[in-house]
């Protein structure tokens, strides 16, 4: 192998193969990060779904005349829980459910005994902590979506993405700032 052209060709082919394998492995790693981060969101959403019926049941005990609002929240929760589509689709259902849940907290404002109920306060606090964990998991997921999208769209790695038909992931975003409001718990006693 004294032919410099042949040696150069072999080197270029080997380097191209190494680059191809390294970039393909980056795609695989990012896709696995994406699945893992979505799993983190899913765990927290399930926690929220479990808290909502308990919260509604507590409110029902005080606000018997508000059945329609409470039943609507349960329906919205069931719809969001049943959605296993893309992140954007789930985010839309989550946003609608959060709007309904805010209605429950607004309803609670009219019932001072309910606002003082230890069970209600504990559920509200747990829901608030869960919302914070969902927000953190959503940020981690969206960072992974961003990284995968960038790698998928940048040249020359876009060639690998098109060869292996790597789909563009969607962000998990709430549509409005109103939906981003987390129920806050006021644990300080009120002066009468």
pLDDT mean by block of 10 residues, the chain; 192 residues: 86 95 96 95 94 89 82 92 89 89 85 85 91 94 96 94 94 66 46 43
Q: For residue 83, what are its two tokens?
A: 């959605």
Q: How far is CA 134 from CA 42, 43, 140, in A?
A: 9, 9, 10
pTM higher than 0.85: no
For the domain spanning 4-180, the CATH number is 1.20.1440.20
Question: Helix crossing, 4-62 with 118-153: angle to 10°?
Answer: 160
Closest CA to 90 of 53, 42, 47: 42
How would you label 45-66 residue by residue, b for 16+ Cβ within 10 Å and e otherwise? Answer: beebeebbeebbebbeebbeeb
CA distances to 21, 126, 150, 158, 167 from 35, in Å:
21, 26, 17, 21, 13
Give pLDDT, residue 109.
83
Q: Could you give the angle at which helices 87-108 and 4-62 cross, rounded to 10 degrees?
A: 20
What's residue 189's pLDDT? 42
CB 34 within 8 A of CB 141: yes
Question: Which tokens belong to 79?
Answer: 């719809």
- Residue 19, CA distances (Å) to 84, 138, 162 in order: 36, 31, 16
Q: Collapsing DSSP states into helix, strand and coil, what is residue 184?
A: coil
What pLDDT shows up at residue 174?
Answer: 73
């Amino acid at each position: 192998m004294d032919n410099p052209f042949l040696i150069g060709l072999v080197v270029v082919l080997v380097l191209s193969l190494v680059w191809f394998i390294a970039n393909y492995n980056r795609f695989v790693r990012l896709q696995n990060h994406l699945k893992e981060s979505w799993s983190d969101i899913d765990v927290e959403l399930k926690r929220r779904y479990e808290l909502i019926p308990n919260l509604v049941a507590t409110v029902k005990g005080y606000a018997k005349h508000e059945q329609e609002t409470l039943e609507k929240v349960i329906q919205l929760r069931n719809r969001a829980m049943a959605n296993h589509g893309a992140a954007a689709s789930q985010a839309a259902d989550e946003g609608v459910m959060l709007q309904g849940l805010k209605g429950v907290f607004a309803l609670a404002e009219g019932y001072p005994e309910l606002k003082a109920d230890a069970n209600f306060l504990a559920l509200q606090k747990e829901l608030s902590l869960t919302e914070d964990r969902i927000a953190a998991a959503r940020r981690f997921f969206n960072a992974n979506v961003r990284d995968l999208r960038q790698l998928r769209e940048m040249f020359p790695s876009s060639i690998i993405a098109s060869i292996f038909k790597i789909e563009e992931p969607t962000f998990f975003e709430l549509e409005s700032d109103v939906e981003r409001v987390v129920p806050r718990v006021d644990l300080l006693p009120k002066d009468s």
